[in-house]
Structure 1
């Protein structure tokens, strides 16, 4: 297995704000490799343009990436990838946190492990896939386009929809899991007991916990905390409200715990994050923030 311990992405602290894409195109000769023993806190999608590479996961074995191959790796999944011997691997890639509305059609695993991996045979879908990736890169680099983030997410959504269209036997998100997701998204500031949520969807707590983790990739508590942190991030960016007040409003009853959670997820504490927003549009005092999408 290829090991690259100095790659910052190998760290369990490698994170991106939810909904914000980090993307690029690589053209790497033999010797290029990356090993992430704990996976990442986001999802990774890769599309091979030319050459050959390999993706390895303990659950699904060695997967060959050749021209027209799409690979989707969920968060928290150990993986290792590298350029094949005597090859140059050219690929497009993006790290992302999916919106809840995407979970119904994000492709499920078609390997022995959690990874989705498919060679695309249709020239039309290949062309559309590459075009969508190119738009992701274009919007990321264009700092002058209004609503750049939304346009980037729309391009990523097209990539995932194209991937979903290739999976004819995929299973939709369980309606009971979707109902719990909707509850958490609407009522993220409230305290939720797994027992109460299970009762609402007519499941036992253990069955709900297992099914939720299986389909979403995070536990119920982890998902709830991500909703809270996403809302807090918006409040920090677009309002001048005190950090302690924001922590309470989104459901964290300990400002210190909120700061630790925020720093773990975003890679910096709330004060540092707010200071970094100097180049963003002016903050409006007292503005309301839309619920998490």
Structure 2
């Protein structure tokens, strides 16, 4: 390759990286289907404020976090938590993938225990054709529904707004189906959650605003605090208190979107004593302070 050709190739690569590194708004539901060539790469050192679900339908990709990496091939599904570094791209000549950026429904945390391959990244390999076919079918439908949900209404009629909301819910149903297929696949391999971990998950997801403590939850599970912390981290992929805070923040996002409660009222309603601490945690999780998040969801560009 000549120097001019190399320079043109490098420029094209940088353009691709810049194009696909655009950060989606944390409260916005975004999906996609890519057939990516060898120059495709996404780099977001600070991650994003939403969860990221990606399924490899063909070819080969690679995801890197610090010094750790994972190669993704047909049947591989990953779930990346908010704030986790994004550095991924094509290996070889092409990579076909389906993906979605989303905020989970609150009850999902009670069952979506996918094993953690790297900090912030869970991984499942689907091997049964019935599972891979179902995941592709679900992604196809949810992507179509997401496109309907994102259409600008031609008029602010009640019917159009209702149809958009239904499209959003159908998209979320599709994401839930993909996660349930992955979870079901794991449980067929006898990787069900420990009953004590499930008990704790049920307690914190049913009422995340309660003043949960490690001592109280360990007492509920009838194990020591250290044993519970180890079991929970190994099976859920995150610490108990991180999950509690995440659930509270998700509920806060719902209240900010659906109500006119003040920031202090929202903070107290979801279990934070200090509005300042709540705002700081919300900003870290979603990438925006609560007031800005409310404005971005209610008045999207």
Query: TM-score, normalization: structure 1?
Result: 0.75
Note if 1:217 corresponds to 2:224.
no
CA distance in 1, matches of 2:63, 2:298: 39
SS in structure 2 of the partner of residue 93 of structure 1:
strand
Q: Which moved more, 1:36-45 or 1:25-34?
A: 36-45
SS in structure 2 of the partner of residue 31 of structure 1:
coil
> Structure 1 residue aligned with 2:277, among 257, 268, 280?
257
Equivalent residues in 2 for 1:1-293, closer than 5 Å: 16-17=26-27, 21-34=29-42, 43-55=51-63, 62-65=70-73, 68-75=74-81, 80-85=87-92, 87-99=93-105, 100-101=107-108, 103-104=110-111, 106-108=113-115, 115-118=122-125, 120=127, 122=129, 124-143=130-149, 144-167=163-186, 168-278=188-298
The structure-2 alpha-carbon separation of the partners of 1:43 and 1:266, relative to structure 1 and needing over 3 Å to count, comes to closer
- Asked if the contact 2:61–2:88 (Cα under 8 Å) also holds between the matched residues in 1, the reply is yes
- Asked if the contact 2:41–2:88 (Cα under 8 Å) also holds between the matched residues in 1, the reply is yes
Q: Which moved more, 1:143-152 or 1:263-272?
A: 143-152
Partner of 1:284: none
SS in structure 2 of the partner of residue 154 of structure 1:
helix
Greater helix content: 2
- Asked if the contact 1:16–1:22 (Cα under 8 Å) also holds between the matched residues in 2, the reply is no
CA distance in 1, matches of 2:57, 2:238: 31
How far does residue 171 in structure 1 lie from its aligned partner after superposition?
1.4
CA offsets, 1:60-85, max 9 Å, x none?
Answer: 865252xx422224437667432123
- Asked if the contact 1:140–1:152 (Cα under 8 Å) also holds between the matched residues in 2, the reply is yes
How far does residue 5 in structure 1 lie from its aligned partner after superposition?
8.7
Q: Which moved more, 1:75-84 or 1:145-154?
A: 75-84
CA offsets, 1:162-217, max 9 Å, x none?
Answer: 33444431411222122222222333333222112211211111111122222222
SS in structure 1 of the partner of residue 172 of structure 2:
helix
CA offsets, 1:81-137, max 9 Å, x none?
Answer: 32123x12221112345554465365436x799753426452x44432212101121
Q: How many pairs were matched up? A: 270
Q: Any unmatched runs of 5+ in structure 1?
A: 281-293
Q: Which moved more, 1:21-30 or 1:252-261?
A: 21-30
SS in structure 1 of the partner of residue 191 of structure 2:
coil
CA distance in 1, matches of 2:22, 2:38: 19
CA distance in 2, matches of 1:37, 1:8: 13
CA distance in 2, matches of 1:265, 1:145: 26
SS in structure 1 of the partner of residue 76 of structure 2:
strand
How far does residue 54 in structure 1 lie from its aligned partner after superposition?
3.3
Query: TM-score, normalization: structure 2?
Result: 0.73
